[in-house]
Amino acid sequence: MHPAQHTTARTAPGERRPRLHLFDLDGTLLYGSAASVEISQQLGVEREIQQLERAFAERKLTPPQFALRACALWSALTDEIVSAAFAEAPWLAGIREVWADIRANGERCAVISLSPDFFVRRLQNWGADVTHGSRWPEVPRAIPNGSTKYPMRPLDPAGILSPSSKVKIAKELCAQFGVRPQDCVAYGDSLSDAELFATVPVSVAVNADQHVRSLASHHYTGRDLRDAYGLVSLAR
């Protein structure tokens, strides 16, 4: 590690070390839903995306296979539809307040999600320091005369994140922010978060099933992120 990175991570004896809070999106910040589901509802292909979601959960589809099939369902996708899906999604309460508190404490917060980056990065407007999502083809603001369909360029499977990508990105963020990996907190709900949970000392299962709950340091069921965050913030 570069000496400068050691310097940024070092604290005086007894001083509290800054933490990096890592949030999943689907099923974690979104209550009982996912970005792909919210977008598909706007396009009238919810049934089809639910079938893909089930196949992915059962590990019958890889993340790139899921993305390619979902992309094919979204031929009418525009930026306005993404905006509507984001605005109408069932977000947990208190997201902005939690991230404001994290930053007020001199800590960092990031969102790492397998969902499309054009959806995930909108959370930067809510106070996330940084967001990482899968690289999907960019969405046009509007489709002129219906003559052009999404995607205008083919989806590159290499840009689609995987569960192991979350671990890699988390390590990169630690170096970027001068935070030790052992000072990270992860929030997630599904098996796609299991690898990340295994690499950090503190994790919070948010509205997760029993398997993921058993992997986490804490678990929370409900619709307010402030309560989930309280499990780790009050312990400091």
Determine the pLDDT at residue 143. 64
The pLDDT assigned to 235 comes to: 56
DSSP secondary structure letter of residue 93: B
Structure-token match 């994790």, residue found: 203
**Alpha-carbon span 185 to 134, nearest angstrom:** 22
The answer to whether the beta carbons of residues 41 and 32 sit under 8 Å apart is no
- The two tokens of residue 31 are 């209550």
Task: Quote the pLDDT of residue 6.
Answer: 34
**Per-residue pLDDT tens digits for 111-127:** 999 999 999 999 999 99
Threshold 0.85, pTM exceeds: yes
Integer Cα distance of 92 and 96 in angstroms: 10
pLDDT of residue 7: 33
- For position 103, what pLDDT does the model report? 96
One DSSP character per residue, 220-232 reads: E-SSBHHHHHHHH
User: What element of type H or E holds 175?
Assistant: helix 163-177
- Give pLDDT, residue 149: 84
pLDDT digits (tens, 9 = 90+) for 9-20: 344 444 578 899
Find out whether 18 and 188 touch, Cβ atoms under 8 Å: no
Q: Is 131 left (phi over 0), alpha (psi -120 to 50) or beta?
A: beta
Q: What is the pLDDT of residue 211?
A: 82
**C-alpha angle 172-168-130 in degrees, rounded to nearest 5:** 50
Residues of the chain under the 70 pLDDT cut: 1-15, 142-148, 234-236
